[in-house]
Structure 1
Amino acid sequence: MEGSMLATVILIFTIFTVASSIDDKCAACNAVAEELEWGLSKEKPRNHLDMRHRLDSQGQRRGKVIDYRVSELRVVELLDGLCDKMQDYTLRKIDSNRQEWIKVDNWDNLTTDKQEARAYSKDISTYCGRLLEETEDEIAELIKKGSLGVGDVSKVLCQDLSKHCSKTSASHEENGSNGGSDGEL
């Protein structure tokens, strides 16, 4: 009985720790948006998707040719694995009341507590999963329409869709707490 009680207490503590670990949802959302924007900017031009696999009675191929830019495949390639990439991010303390999400290039060169930094990376990855769960349909439609481009991902994702950043927090981004790559390690 004591073992199950201890397990329950640990489970509750873990749930509250993860739930409360992302204090600044706006900064975390901006870090996710930055990673998605990086994916958009690194896209290589692709050919149309040829879905003409069926032959008719005259031997002619039938089906559709789909523009890759508006395809479901493009959406999947952009969003699939996004939250796994967020495990390369951790929280860096700037001063006593400011923190920012940074991308870590080499975990061995990290000067802070590596165990704590890894815990933060798992937290933002979990947050990313919840964020995408809430907004995935809208993001997918915007990507397919071509109205989600480089430069506006943060506004669309963090202000318009998730509401994790208020419109007045644009100054938040100007202060450098948007998880920018300028703090890359």
Structure 2
Amino acid sequence: MERRRRKRRSEAVLVVAWCLFLFATFISVSGVENKCSACNAVAEELELGLLNEKPRNHLDMRHRLDAKGQRRGKVIDYRVSELRVVELLDGLCDKMQDYTLHKLDSTKHEWIKVSDWDNLKTDKQEAKAYSKDISSYCGRLLEETEDEFAELIKKGSVRIGEVSKVLCQELSGHCSKTSDSGQAENYDFDEGEL
């Protein structure tokens, strides 16, 4: 009899622990309600990619030889190539794991890039959870906008200083033209939506 009570009590504890785990998971799966701030953090990382681009030669796609031994194919300007787009976007969301949510006061937050996680003054576990959230957000943002964004890059329509406007206002619509681009007021976004 005593054994059954202990077993029921441990089952109840497990159910409560499981419910708390699910609740905590639901909270950590959520993200920034102000998607504008998160989008601007992604745009900032893209800006860094554009700034750090090294000059590249044209891509020589002339690999075939015709009957006379002449090379046939295209020479593509790197700046309008698919390779450039891939190099800019590849690993972008992994780089977002260097960002976390910084609380300015009780109502205002901003996404900041962390240079040294060991010197972080806030709760490191919570900060790492935020970094995973913005990385997931980045993946969903790119999934939603990648085709159009890639075409704009290839056309030369995405310039340094304008990435946020193109990505966050025009393509995703996460920022209005009058929104405060750097502040996240609340932290809450659904896994399935951007």
Q: Normalising by structure 2, what TM-score?
A: 0.81
Cα pair distance change 1:10/1:99, threshold 3 Å: same
Q: Share of identical aligned residues, percent?
A: 75
One-letter amino acid of the counterpart of residue 57, structure 2: N
- Structure 1 residue 14 displacement after superposition: 6.0
Cα pair distance change 1:89/1:142, threshold 3 Å: same
Which of 183, 190, 193 does residue 177 from structure 1 map onto?
183
Q: What's the CA shift string for 1:16-58, capped at 9, x where partnerless? A: 3244222221100000001001111111110000011111111
Q: CA RMSD in A?
A: 2.2
Q: Does 1:60 find its partner at 2:70?
A: yes
Q: Does 1:103 find its partner at 2:113?
A: yes
Q: Does 1:113 find its partner at 2:123?
A: yes
Tell which structure's C-alpha radius of gyration is larger. 2
- Structure 1 residue 167 displacement after superposition: 1.5
Q: Does 1:155 find its partner at 2:155?
A: no
One-letter amino acid of the counterpart of residue 93, structure 2: C
Corresponding position of 2:7? none
Q: What's the CA shift string for 1:99-141, capped at 9, x where partnerless? A: 0000001111111111110000000000000000000001000
Moved over 4 A (4+): 5-12
Cα pair distance change 1:8/1:71, threshold 3 Å: farther
Give the Cα separation in 2 of the matches to 1:70 and 1:7: 54
Cα pair distance change 1:116/1:19, threshold 3 Å: closer
Corresponding position of 2:142? 132
Q: Which is worse superposed, 14-23 or 112-121? A: 14-23
Matches within 5 A, 1:8-47: 13=23, 16-47=26-57
Q: Normalising by structure 1, what TM-score?
A: 0.85
Cα pair distance change 1:81/1:7, threshold 3 Å: farther
- Structure 1 residue 11 displacement after superposition: 8.0
What secondary structure does 1:148 align onto?
A: coil
One-letter amino acid of the counterpart of residue 118, structure 1: K
- Structure 1 residue 7 displacement after superposition: 10
Give the Cα separation in 1 of the matches to 2:144 and 2:21: 24
Cα pair distance change 1:110/1:23, threshold 3 Å: same
What secondary structure does 1:123 align onto?
A: helix
Q: Does 1:81 find its partner at 2:91?
A: yes
**8 A Cα contact 2:62 2:72, kept in partner:** yes
What secondary structure does 2:85 align onto?
A: helix
What 5-or-longer segments of structure 2 have no aligned partner? 1-10, 185-194
Ranked by relative contact order (alpha carbons within 8 Å, sequence separation 6 or more), the top structure is 2
**8 A Cα contact 2:28 2:129, kept in partner:** no
What secondary structure does 1:168 align onto?
A: coil
